[in-house]
Amino acid sequence: MIAPRLQIDLAKIHHNAHTLVSLLGRRGISVSGVTKTFLGLPDIAAELLAAGVSGLADSRIENIQTMRRGAVKAHMTLIRSPMISQAALVVGHADTSLNTELDVISELSKAAGAIGRTHGVLLMVELGDLREGIMPVDLERVVGRTLRFPNIAFKGIGTNLACRSGVVPDSANMGELSKLANALDATFGPIVSMVSGGNSSNLNWVLGGADTGRINNLRLGESILLGCETLHRQPIEGLHTDAFTLVAEVIESGPKPTKPWGEIAENAFGAVVTPVDSGTICQAILALGQMDTDPDGLTPPPGIRILGSSSDHLVVDCGRECLPTGTEITFQLNYSAVARAMTSPFVTKQIEPRKEPEMQSMERAV
Ligand SMILES: *Cc1c(COP(=O)(O)O)cnc(C)c1O
């Protein structure tokens, strides 16, 4: 089998997406499935739609193009403020984009007019995390201007927390978002149809039974793919945390001392490793490194311990028995490890299709 390979279990992703869509649906909250981690791979995107997400959302227009080319039919939202240099691409492929700058919206308006389309705009509000967002005091003015652009349809407002600064979504900041939506409706008439409360970090607050006010949408990526909330990275009850696994192959194996010898300076990544002597171990090297994934985000199977990594090598302690070369080892991954494995051309992506229940029982019968 080809290694390294990222194995992607569509049945588990489907289950996670469906579970979250149902839980949030009961609270009147729709789910936009965020596709950026898997680069918009059409098979995974289609699975999210089959599980009931109301639309797809990605931070890169290139990934949205991948989905369009893959005949994925959905409302597509660009969730990073568009580059002016990509205005034509954005209105050509995305239905809606998240915005914070009138100069950008102006360019989107022109580009949409040029191809006879209307482009949806959702304005992002800054509520403390200090990444993207219009300051609340400026919101009414920006909405007023946005409403006057031709070929632009104002969709509503949103916010994004717990990304740059780790600010926790709570009743104070979420309440403020609802209040802003009410204030806009009071000023301009009922114009705020979507209030997008945030990302996977909002789940603790929403599922904790809070009054969610005007919030009627969340944009979810990591919680669907990895089955965890993102404030403390705890598994969400009932979700799979192993939809992604990374398999790597042993290329050298044998007993080695744990303490390096010779004078010690910086290693390949600029760190100085403090030598510890824990005797002789069964050391194995896997053909997997920093060019393939984030080694710090890997969890090895029981009995295996990660000792270090360089660009192309992962060094592990495999316990009492030395593993033969050619042995495959399967790791669990965190978000950072998945993201890097997805973008590495050296890692094969192996999508395991979701089997229909009938098909499974047929196979068993054969
Ligand atoms: C990435 C992203 C999301 C999804 O975040 P998760 O933590 O993966 O759920 C939502 N909104 C925006 C603006 C994003 O950039």
Decide if 84 contacts 122 (C-beta within 8 A). Answer: no
Q: pLDDT value at position 357? A: 52
- Indicate the top mutation candidate among 77, 168, 219 to test ligand 1's pocket, ranked by most ligand atoms within 8 A of CB: 219
Distance 3 CA to ligand 1 centre (A): 29
Report CA Rg, the chain.
24
Looking at residue 284, its pLDDT comes to 98
Q: Is 66 in the pocket of ligand 1 (CB under 6 A)?
A: no
Indicate yes or no: pTM above 0.85.
Answer: yes
Q: Which atom of ligand 1 is nearest to the CA of 162?
A: 7
Residue nearest to atom 3 of ligand 1 (CA): 199
State pLDDT tens for residues 3-24: 999 999 999 999 999 999 999 9
Mean pLDDT over residues 165-181, rounded?
97
The closest residue, in CA terms, to atom 5 on ligand 1 is 199
Q: Is the CB of 58 under 6 A from ligand 1?
A: no
Q: Which residue has the higher pLDDT, 101 or 270?
A: 101
Give 222 Cα–ligand 1 centroid separation in angstroms: 8
CB of 220 closer than 6 angstroms to any ligand 1 atom: yes
Atom of ligand 1 nearest to the CA of 223: 9
Distance from residue 219's CA to the centre of ligand 1 (Å): 6
Tell me: pLDDT of 355 over 80: no
Q: Would you please indicate which residues are annotated as catalytic (active-site) residues? A: 36
Secondary structure of the chain in the HEC alphabet?
CCCCEEEEEHHHHHHHHHHHHHHHHCCCCEEEEECHHHCCCHHHHHHHHHCCCCEEEECCHHHHHHHHHCCCCCCEEECCCCCHHHHHHHHHHCCEEEECCHHHHHHHHHHHHHCCCCEEEEEEECCCCCCCCECHHHHHHHHHHHHHCCCEEEEEEECCCCCCCCCCCCHHHHHHHHHHHHHHHHHHCCCCCEEECCCHHHHHHHHCCCCCCCCCEEEECHHHHHCECCCCCCECCCCCCCCEEEEEEEEEEEEEECCCCCCCCCCCCCCCCCCCCCCEEEEEEECCCCCCCCHHHEECCCCCEEEEECCCCEEEECCCCCCCCCCEEEEEECHHHHHHHHHCCCCEEEEECCCCHHHHHHHHHC
Residue 34, ligand 1, Cβ within 6 A: yes
d(CA 8, CA 123): 34
Share of the chain above pLDDT 90, in %: 91
CB 8 within 8 A of CB 29: no
Ligand 1 pocket, 100 CB below 6 A? no
The verdict on the CB of residue 339 being under 6 Å from ligand 1 is no
